């Protein structure tokens, strides 16, 4: 962000307090901050008591930096908390999910009682396949109810799930299966995307061929196309799950029992397996979902438009809403130009009252204009959420005006895969929001902005975002890599968690997130490391060297721009090579990592010690004047790159 844009933001004069009616009826009132400030651990214990525990905890927190244990000695079952207890309370007929497939006439209504049966059957099926407490299960599935059931069934039997986003490649899937040591994979034959079936099973076949320890692949029939079948390994869901008993006796697990591993990109090419556990995670997922979205479970219809493959889907499609007994919309598809009013139709049809989505989606709709929205009655919407990247004030105002009818509060929620749940956000019935600011840490959460020395910056200052107190849903480590856990999050500042984000405090002390300070890009709210894309590029025979930067993009937040040096004769092939390389990255990592632009260059800008100066490449990618080049080993390199740019390397806009 330029410093001009930043100082404009910091002097944002607009304030949007909740209406009096909203404030009067809000779940979270201002005293929540006071309660948490008075007795932080007591406050979290009070939140934890909203769950059903089989055995109460002895101690709220054991903090042995950088390792936390929450609700120590307590035991509970997550699936019972998310499903059974609502049925037992007489809410079995409440809708858990209004599920909408990508094909328009593909709908299912799933009550809490239906979900209970499905989860129990799935738990029995996994048990029959030999899955026991502690055994990781890999999940590579579309946005269908069976996916939710699989996660809850894993939780029910204490088998940590590791969900791999269905847009990731076979290689990405294989490396995660291997790292987590999963022996069972749950998937589907395919999924519907943009009105078309797209296969998933071939990716799983390719991945599992590299994972000899995988015993079984359980396959939901979703698209009904032909599939290659391995009789020793593959099982149809309808053959195995449907015949199971819909009763299952759940066992309680320790509060610190692993619930899931979710891989996310770091600054190296190897993704990190973020480990989350049971009691603290569910406590904070439920607490934040209820208070940040002002959830009234018996009247609200909530829709989180993320994918279950990301942490947002874990915490705010599955665990938070279900722990709170919410009624949700779940949608298989994604917005696309061929179907611009699908979303708004869905909101009208189900009278959605709470919508949670990402700035990139809002900007996409901004680009398409407000007409598709105006044809639908969106007056049911009363809270709007944003997540995944900084939301620019224009998108914020557009969201408020065109989606929220000029009145629904917007909650801009900052958090990460690592934090497990929302950390910084307005409370919709309390906070007078500012367009573009995530405002304050939630009650019970400690966050600050510090300088290089770890000293808090004064109001008006900028620096690094840190979390100053352990929180219940915090990651418990990186799966199989303690050193990396310590090094990544806890080595920059003593006893403070370093989030990897830059932030500013404005004159009132409210927080403005500025994006990552490390070599991690944020494309449409998805984290992708520059190194990961670089190593995918150099794995191609024609590439000698590659450097990747995230350049500002009006729709996706950042776009991936790659600079490559080709080997020998490949250098003359031009455009076709560039297309081939873009495809290659999509195949290696997944389509979300396909570079927006690849520039073929003769040299890369390096310091004398050989470090690539991405700052300069970012200048080029963003068409800015190139900054200080005095530390370059060869200062003519940037001229060569700029000349190459003028000759016009291929750019692709799909």
Min. distance of Cβ 313 from ligand WT7 in angstroms?
9
CB of 415 to ligand WT7, least distance (A): 4
CA atoms of 323 and 90, how far apart (whole Å) = 15
Q: Does 488 bind ligand WT7 (CB under 6 A)?
A: no
Q: How far apart are the first and last CA of the chain?
A: 25
Query: In the complex with ligand WT7, which residue's Cβ is closer, 333 or 550?
Result: 550
Interface of this chain with ligand WT7, residues 154 to 183, rule: CB under 6 A = none
Cβ closest to ligand WT7, residue 169 vs residue 264: 264
158: left (phi over 0), alpha (psi -120 to 50) or beta: left
The span from the CA of 332 to the CA of 144, in Å, is 6
The nearest distance, CB 243 to ligand WT7, in angstroms, is 38
Q: Is 388 a binder of ligand WT7 (CB under 6 A)?
A: yes
Assign 519 to helix, strand or coil.
Answer: coil
Return the range that interacts with ligand WT7 (CB under 6 A); candidates 178-186, 235-243, 372-380, 388-396.
388-396
Alpha-carbon distance 273 to 456, whole Å?
A: 30
Closest CA to 70 of 471, 466, 489, 445: 471
Q: Report if residue 389 touches ligand WT7, rule: CB under 6 A.
A: yes
Number of other CB atoms surrounding residue 65 within 10 Å: 12
Phi-psi region of 515 (alpha: psi -120 to 50; beta: other; left: phi over 0): left
Q: By CB under 6 A, tell whether 438 contacts ligand WT7.
A: yes
Q: Does 396 bind ligand WT7 (CB under 6 A)?
A: no
Verify binding: residue 264, ligand WT7, rule CB under 6 A.
Answer: yes
What the block records as the tokens of 606 is: 């390096």
User: For ligand WT7, which is the closer residue by CB, 288 or 413?
Assistant: 413
Our CB check for ligand WT7 shows the closer of 325 and 550 to be 550
Which range, of 283-291, 488-496, 514-522, 633-641, touches ligand WT7 by CB under 6 A?
Answer: 514-522
Asked whether position 499 contacts ligand WT7 by CB under 6 A, the answer is yes
For position 360 contacting ligand WT7 by CB under 6 A, the verdict is: no
Contact 253, 77 (CB under 8 A): yes
283 lies in the site for ligand WT7, by CB under 6 A: no
Indicate if the alpha-carbon torsion angle 203, 205, 209, 214 is positive or negative.
Answer: positive
- Answer yes or no whether residue 9 interacts with ligand WT7 by CB under 6 A: no
Q: Is 412 in the site for ligand WT7 (CB under 6 A)?
A: yes
What DSSP assignment string belongs to 313-377?
A: HIIIIIIHHHHTT-EEEEES----GGGTTHHHHHHHHHT--EEEE-HHHHHHHHHH-SHHHHTS-
Please list every residue from 570 through 609 that binds ligand WT7, using CB under 6 A: none
DSSP classification of residue 522: E
Question: What are the structure tokens assigned to 455, written together?
Answer: 């000293």
Mention every residue, 6+ apart, whose C-beta is less than 8 A from residue 589: 168, 169, 171, 172, 528, 532, 533, 536
When asked if residue 550 is in the footprint of ligand WT7 (CB under 6 A), the reply is no
- Cα–Cα distances in angstroms (integers) from residue 242 to residues 246, 323, 648, in the given order: 9, 25, 57
Residue from 81, 223, 416, 577 that binds ligand WT7 (CB under 6 A)?
Answer: 416
Minimum distance from residue 556 beta carbon to ligand WT7 (Å): 13
| 412 vs 506 by CB, closer to ligand WT7 | 412
Q: Does residue 332 contact residue 351 with C-beta atoms inside 8 Å?
A: no
Least separation in angstroms between CB 312 and ligand WT7: 5
Question: Which of 325, 390, 472, 590 contacts ligand WT7 by CB under 6 A?
Answer: 390
Q: Which stretch binds ligand WT7 (CB under 6 A): 14-22, 54-62, 407-415, 622-630?
A: 407-415
Burial of 492 (0-12, 13-18, 19+ CB in 10 A): middle
Q: Which of 202, 209, 200, 92 is nearest to 146 (CA)?
A: 200
CB of 421 to ligand WT7, least distance (A): 9
Give the integer Cα–Cα distance in Å for 122 and 139: 13
Residue 391 Cβ vs ligand WT7, minimum distance, rounded to whole Å: 7
Among 116, 150, 361, 417, binds ligand WT7 (CB under 6 A): 417
- Which of the stretches 22-30, 124-132, 304-312, 319-327 binds ligand WT7 when contact is defined by CB under 6 A? 304-312
Stretch that binds ligand WT7, among 181-189, 190-198, 384-392, 607-615 (CB under 6 A): 384-392
Residues lying near ligand WT7 in the complex (CB under 6 A): 264, 310-312, 387-390, 412-417, 438, 499-501, 513, 515-516, 522, 525, 527
């Amino acid at each position: 962000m330029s410093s001009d844009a930043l100082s404009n933001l910091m002097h944002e004069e607009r304030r949007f307090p909740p209406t009096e009616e909203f404030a009067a009826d809000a779940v979270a009132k201002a005293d929540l901050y006071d309660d948490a400030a008075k007795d932080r651990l007591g406050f979290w214990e009070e939140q934890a008591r909203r769950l059903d525990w089989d055995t109460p905890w002895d101690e709220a927190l054991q903090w042995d930096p950088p390792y936390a244990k929450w609700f120590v000695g307590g035991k509970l079952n997550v699936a019972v908390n998310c499903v059974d207890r609502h049925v037992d309370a007489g809410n079995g007929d409440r809708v858990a999910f209004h599920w909408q497939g990508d094909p328009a006439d593909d709908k299912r209504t799933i009550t809490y009682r239906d979900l209970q049966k499905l989860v129990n059957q799935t738990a029995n099926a996994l048990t029959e396949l030999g899955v026991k407490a502690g055994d990781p299960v890999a999940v590579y599935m579309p946005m269908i109810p069976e996916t939710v059931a699989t996660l809850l069934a894993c939780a029910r039997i204490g088998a940590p799930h590791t969900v791999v986003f269905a847009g990731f490649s076979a290689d990405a899937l294989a490396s995660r299966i291997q790292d987590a040591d999963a022996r069972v994979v749950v998937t589907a034959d395919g999924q519907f995307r943009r009105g078309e079936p797209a296969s998933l099973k071939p990716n799983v076949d390719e991945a599992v061929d590299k994972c000899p320890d995988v015993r079984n692949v359980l396959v939901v029939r979703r698209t009904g196309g032909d599939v290659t079948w391995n009789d020793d390994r593959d099982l149809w869901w309808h053959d195995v799950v449907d015949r199971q008993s819909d009763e299952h006796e759940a066992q309680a697990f320790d509060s610190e029992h692993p619930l899931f591993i979710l891989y996310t990109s770091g600054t190296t090419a190897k993704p990190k397996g973020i480990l989350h556990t049971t009691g603290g995670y569910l406590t904070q997922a439920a607490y934040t979902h209820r208070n940040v979205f002002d959830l009234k479970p018996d009247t609200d219809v909530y829709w989180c438009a993320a994918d279950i493959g990301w942490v947002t889907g874990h915490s705010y499609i599955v665990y938070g809403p279900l722990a709170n007994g919410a009624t949700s919309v779940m949608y298989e598809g994604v917005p696309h130009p061929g179907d611009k009013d699908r979303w708004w139709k869905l909101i009208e049809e189900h009278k959605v009252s709470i919508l949670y989505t990402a700035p990139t989606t809002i900007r996409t709709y901004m680009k398409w204009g407000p007409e598709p929205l105006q044809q639908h009655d969106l007056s049911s919407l009363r809270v709007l959420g944003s997540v995944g990247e900084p939301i620019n004030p224009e998108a914020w105002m557009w969201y408020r005006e065109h989606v929220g009818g000029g009145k629904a509060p917007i909650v801009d929620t900052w958090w990460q895969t690592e934090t497990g749940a929302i950390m910084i956000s307005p409370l919709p019935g309390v906070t007078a929001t500012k367009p573009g600011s995530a405002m304050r840490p939630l009650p019970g959460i400690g966050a600050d902005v510090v300088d290089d020395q770890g000293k808090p910056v004064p109001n008006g200052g900028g620096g690094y975002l840190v979390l100053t107190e352990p929180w219940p849903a915090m990651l418990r480590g990186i799966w199989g890599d303690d050193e990396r856990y310590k090094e990544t999050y806890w080595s920059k500042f003593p006893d403070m968690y370093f989030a990897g984000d830059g932030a500013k405090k404005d004159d009132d002390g409210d927080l403005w997130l500025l994006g990552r300070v490390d070599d991690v890009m944020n494309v449409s709210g998805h984290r992708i490391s520059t190194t990961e894309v670089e190593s995918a590029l150099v794995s191609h025979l024609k590439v000698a060297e590659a450097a990747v930067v995230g350049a500002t993009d009006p729709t996706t937040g950042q776009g991936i721009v790659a600079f490559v040096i080709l080997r020998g004769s490949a250098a003359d092939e031009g455009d076709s090579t560039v297309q081939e390389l873009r495809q290659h990255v999509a195949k290696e990592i997944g389509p979300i990592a396909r570079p927006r632009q690849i520039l073929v260059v003769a040299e890369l800008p390096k310091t004398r010690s050989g470090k690539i100066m991405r700052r300069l490449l970012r200048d080029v990618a963003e068409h800015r004047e190139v900054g200080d080049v005095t530390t370059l080993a060869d200062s003519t390199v940037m001229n060569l790159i700029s000349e190459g740019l003028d000759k016009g390397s291929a750019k692709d806009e799909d």
